[in-house]
Structure 1
Amino acid sequence: MKKILIQLDTDSLPSSFDRVVAVDAGVDELFSYGGVTPDNVETLVHGAIFTRKPSDLVNTAIFVGGSNVAAGEALLKAVTKSLFGPFKVSVMMDSNGSNTTAAATVLAASRHLDLSKTTAVVLGGTGPVGSRVAQLLLQQGATVRLASRSLERSTATCAGLKEIADVSKLSPHESQSDAGLAAACEGVDLVVAAGAAKTRLINAEQLSKISTLKVAIDLNAVAPAGIEGIEVMDKAREAGQTILYGAVGVGGTKMKIHYAAVRKLFTSNTLVLDTAAIYDLGASLS
């Protein structure tokens, strides 16, 4: 029986990136739909679960994607709500690559740090990738400072993380001012820059003042770098006492996780591959 992946994209045009990865991951048939919302998804889900016997539904799976991560999260909830009893298929959510990128980032850091003893600052932490990096670091026992140009936004994001992680080691910070950035970075072992493309979040001089820094990861692939001095191709490059990763340096692991996650969907019909599940899968590949 053929393996069918149903791509539900919140954008009007389904992502060509996600389509290529699905094909390269070995999917036999790929059905792609754009403009999918929680209001119109139920019919698509029912079409997936009622056309095959429950025992054959392991060969059908759903991928939720799109550029809007909040819309993807809402769509994932609607999809899982539409599944019931034996009529279930496995589902993966990776809107804008947020989950696979966050997983690859934290795994890169874990190669050099004991995360349970790590203090980290996530710059651009209110974005979809940054908030997920913070979530995963917390779930590995790290102390996390979530920094944003707006303390209000940082505080709101920290409050949202209470629903999915132990936030006793989480604190909000503003990084707009030099003093705020310095306070957020003081004494940290790990700096992750997860801001928008073309946005410099910390310069080389500011980075050099973090005497405790062991690992710095910049997820911005478009110049200027989010962390000045990190090149996009850096992969565990040593710079004094600090290990550096750029976006492409992390990207290789991100792609491996994405491929593996698509394949994993067809090992069961009850999986929900969200942020934490995708991280666990990535860890199993190491």
Structure 2
Amino acid sequence: MSRKTILHMLTPLRQMSPFDVNMALDAGYDHVVPYCDVTLSDVTGLVQDAVFSRPPDVGIATGVFIAGRDTALALDMIDAARHAMVPPFEISVFADPAGSFTTAAAMVAKVEKTLDKLHGSALAGAHVVVFGATGVVGYCSAVIAAKEGAEVTIVGYDGIARVEAIAKAIKERFGVAVTPADGSTEERKTALLGEAVVLLAAARAGVRVISAEQLRGATKLLVAADVNAVPPSGVEGLAVNAKADKLGGMQVVGIGALSIGNLKYKVQSGLFKQMIGAEKPVFYDFQDAFALARSLEK
């Protein structure tokens, strides 16, 4: 039987991202089929239709990609897809909602390498402050850093209630602790930044969260990373193409959105290629994306 590679792309949104479609095809899939407005309850039926339509020895050439904009929902969809398998009828699954899983992985991997290269230090024990933690990139970055042993603070721009709920959800799902904090005023942001060794800026595009004056007062800060590529930058003075470049006359170095994005592209493409070449079913989320990003940065 012909072993055409087929990727079924599921999204809870009204449209599938053209970015993800292009990435999958450029990575080598023969056919890509989008499914929109997919709910969690739809996943089992769709996956089992894909599973049972091909014999087990060809099933490995079938994949499911989970998109959207919601971290928890994407992870729940992976779990639903995993439980829908009926061995030996199995296929591979990869989630990357809004490209956030691979973006978060790339950002943390870049920071980890910079800490090691410039300071001989690791994420373990480092105080990491995440701005934009209510978004998918910030959420995943916080989990990755916490699982690596960092002391992570997630900052809420609109008070502490939402980040408290996120911290509780992270503890329940991943077994790691992150500290919620109120960053609703400039004074509170300044105080939080004053204790940080690493700043991860994952706020909305075009939103500046940290000023140059606040950076100058952050005497412990070594690395700042920003995923915002839309002016103004999330961190003042941090260029989109910065590759561990010093910010002004300060000790802190910056990693810009394009530098992170270049690695993110390689990670997403790499995971698609691993799915295509796998000899048994694989299941990829942001933790797998981080493992690949870290290996690419060595």
Normalising by structure 2, report the TM-score: 0.90
* Pairing partner for 1:156 from 150, 162, 165: 165
Amino acid at match of 1:132: C
User: Match of 1:229?
Assistant: 237
Is 2:288 aligned against 1:280?
A: no
Is 2:254 aligned against 1:252?
A: no
* Pairing partner for 1:28 from 22, 27, 30: 30
Whole-angstrom distance in 1 between the partners of 2:239 and 2:80: 40
Is 2:122 aligned against 1:128?
A: no
Deviation at 1:79, TM superposition (A): 2.2
User: Match of 1:171?
Assistant: 179
User: Match of 1:146?
Assistant: 154
Amino acid at match of 1:247: A
* Pairing partner for 2:82 from 76, 80, 84: 80
CA-to-partner distance for each residue in 1:169-218, whole Å, 9 max, x for gaps? Answer: x2111111233212321231110111112221111101110011111011
Q: Is the 8 A contact 2:223 2:252 kept in 1?
A: yes
Deviation at 1:76, TM superposition (A): 2.7
User: Match of 1:47?
Assistant: 49
Q: RMSD of the alignment, in Å?
A: 1.7
CA spacing shift, 1:152–1:47, aligned 2, 3 Å: same
Whole-angstrom distance in 1 between the partners of 2:185 and 2:11: 38
* Pairing partner for 1:38 from 37, 40, 63: 40
Amino acid at match of 1:130: G
Amino acid at match of 1:275: F
Amino acid at match of 2:154: L
Whole-angstrom distance in 2 between the partners of 1:265 and 1:93: 12
Deviation at 1:69, TM superposition (A): 4.1
Q: Is the 8 A contact 2:197 2:221 kept in 1?
A: yes
Whole-angstrom distance in 2 between the partners of 1:124 and 1:195: 4
Higher mean Cα deviation, 134-143 or 271-280? Answer: 271-280
Whole-angstrom distance in 1 between the partners of 2:35 and 2:184: 40
Higher mean Cα deviation, 181-190 or 154-163? Answer: 181-190
Deviation at 1:276, TM superposition (A): 1.1
CA-to-partner distance for each residue in 1:131-182, whole Å, 9 max, x for gaps? Answer: 11000001111111111122111111111110243434x2111111233212
Identity of aligned residues (%): 33
Q: Is the 8 A contact 1:10 1:68 kept in 2?
A: no
Deviation at 1:70, TM superposition (A): 4.4
Structure 2 unaligned regions, length at least 5: 116-121
Q: Is the 8 A contact 1:204 1:229 kept in 2?
A: yes
Amino acid at match of 1:127: G
SS in 2 for 1:133: helix
Whole-angstrom distance in 1 between the partners of 2:16 and 2:76: 17
* Pairing partner for 1:261 from 271, 277, 286: 271
Amino acid at match of 2:294: A
Deviation at 1:72, TM superposition (A): 3.0
Whole-angstrom distance in 1 between the partners of 2:78 and 2:145: 23
Alignment length, in residue pairs?
A: 285
